[in-house]
Amino acid sequence: MKLRSPSTILVTGGSGFIGANFIRYLLGETGQQEHGFAGRVINLDALTYAGNPENLRDIAESAGDRYRFVHGDITDAALLEKLFSEEAIDTVVHFAAESHVDRSIHGPQAFVNTNVMGTFALLEAARKAWIDANGTVRDGVLFHHVSTDEVFGSLGATGYFTETTPYDPRSPYSASKASSDHLVRAYHHTYGLPITLTNCSNNYGPYQFPEKLIPVMILNIKDGKPLPVYGDGKNIRDWLYVEDHNRAVWTVMQGGDTGESYNIGGDNEWENITLVETLCDIVAEELDRDPAETRKLITFVKDRPGHDRRYAIDCSRLKNELGWSQTVDFAQGLRKTVKWYLEHMEWVDGVRTGAYREWVEKNYTAR
């Protein structure tokens, strides 16, 4: 199997949780060559509430001309055309998305704008840059689209999502991601745009914005605040450590079949209530507190509308065809994640207060 060798990768949403970890994975903690990638990364991020340049500040300082940050919106067609032209981009990794289900319920328009129209703008920019008037596609190009298992809807007590599971989105968030998936596939079938697509389960790890379940619970336990759990707490999610996810994305980008999709999962199903109780025990141990007292912080709250009961991914295709497998078990990953948040409270405080935006204004307003 001949592996793809990207030269210049445009990473959208590269200052967010998964995107920043992906860039760190490619460039290494010191900005040096990692995992066979010797090219450049262009990070395009609008720096909305969850995009934090502090996530890559050390990379920006150490990677030299192998890394460029561009403060901009993926819906800006003129900016995209300029970037594709001046940077000779041959690969797109599209992470940028509004992704919080609760926010999508209360404000769905932003999800349609970013997840649907933003993906459309990127696809158009790639099509214009990579496919000539005769329909000839430039050699060595790829548009990789990062999606979610939530597009498949909700599972019962048994069964798994596969690459051929029919789409059945239940929230404005998952509907907007399903729409973007369909657009990506349509551009492949209609125009011949080389694409790969991945649908992943719930990610966790360092740099995740503290509105998602695991960081919320870690920080609330630390601060002695209530731990809100929706409904009866029996909703089940499949948890995947972010570095394992990004290794899978890179594996698909290098060797996945053009036009195909691959599921990325953790083979790691947990009820929400059991996960929260486990986090209570780990954080209590790290802070030398009584686990029984931390569990008393658990508070059951009214379930959210359209709350899917269970997600579970069958990632056997990725394992069997491309040789990927998870390397971080959940006990190890949770412990690493808890330690990271407790040791990076300056980062947490900056995110909570928006203080990091002063650095954005100082460093990037003129770029």
User: 280, 274, 278, 287: which is closest to 227 by C-alpha?
Assistant: 280
CA angle (115, 42, 337) in 5-degree steps: 70
Which active-site residues does the annotation give?
149-150, 173
Whose structure tokens read 């899917």?
308
CA 18 – CA 243 distance, rounded (Å): 9
The answer to whether 266 and 204 are in contact (CB under 8 A) is no
The answer to whether 94 and 122 are in contact (CB under 8 A) is yes
Indicate the DSSP class of residue 166. P
Instruction: Give the Cβ contact number of residue 36 at 10 Å.
Output: 10
In order of 18, 46, 53, the CA distances from 50 in angstroms are 11, 10, 10
CA 284 – CA 295 distance, rounded (Å): 9
CA angle (118, 124, 126) in 5-degree steps: 105
All residues at 6 or more sequence positions from 355 whose CB lies less than 8 Å from its CB, including other chains? 349
Q: What is the 3-state secondary structure (H, E, C) of 217-236?
A: HHHHHHHCCCEEEECCCCCE
The answer to whether 95 and 11 are in contact (CB under 8 A) is yes
Residue type, 21: N
CA angle (316, 320, 323) in 5-degree steps: 110
Whose structure tokens read 């899978």?
248
Indicate the DSSP class of residue 64. G
